[in-house]
């Protein structure tokens, strides 16, 4: 088991399809339909190894989720990988997200797995 991955995306089909693939690759996936659901889960559970975060969602989008995550000392250090559709974001707003990696939903699945391995390995390295 590679660890727990909190997967925040409002598209149930995307969550289901990628969750199955990620679980097959060794992750324990916790799905959340938007940022508020993700924040609620984080408040009630131990921190996951990584967060996979969509940007465009109702109620609490990825930008608002990251704003709240970065303000909370318990959550700010959790590695976060933005999982976005092509052309979904602008560069100015992306800077507001802080230190995140970005993977496009249209990339091959192996790209997502490689970035997940890299971001979690970087988080485990001593400072």
Pair 8, 53: CB distance under 8 Å: yes
Dist. CA 32–CA 69, nearest whole Å: 15
pLDDT (tens digit, 9 = 90+) per residue, 29-63?
999 999 999 999 999 999 999 999 999 899 999 99
Q: CB of 74 within 8 A of CB of 47?
A: yes
CA 16 from centroid of its chain's CA atoms:
15
pTM score, whole prediction: 0.89
How many whole angstroms separate alpha carbon 39 and alpha carbon 75?
A: 9
What domains are there in the chain, each with its CATH number?
3-124 (3.40.50.2300)
For residues 92-106, average pLDDT: 75
């Amino acid at each position: 088991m590679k660890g727990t991955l909190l997967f925040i995306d409002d598209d149930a089909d995307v969550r289901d399809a990628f969750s199955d693939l990620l679980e097959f690759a060794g992750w324990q996936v916790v799905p959340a339909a938007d940022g508020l659901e993700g924040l609620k889960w984080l408040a009630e559970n131990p921190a996951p190894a990584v967060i996979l975060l969509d940007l465009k969602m109702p109620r609490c989008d990825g930008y608002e989720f990251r704003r709240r995550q970065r303000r909370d000392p318990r959550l700010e250090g959790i590695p976060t990988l933005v999982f976005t559709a092509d052309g979904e974001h602008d560069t100015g707003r992306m800077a507001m997200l802080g230190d995140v990696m970005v993977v496009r939903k249209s990339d091959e699945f192996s790209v997502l797995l490689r970035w997940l391995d890299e971001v979690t390995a970087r988080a485990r390295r001593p400072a």
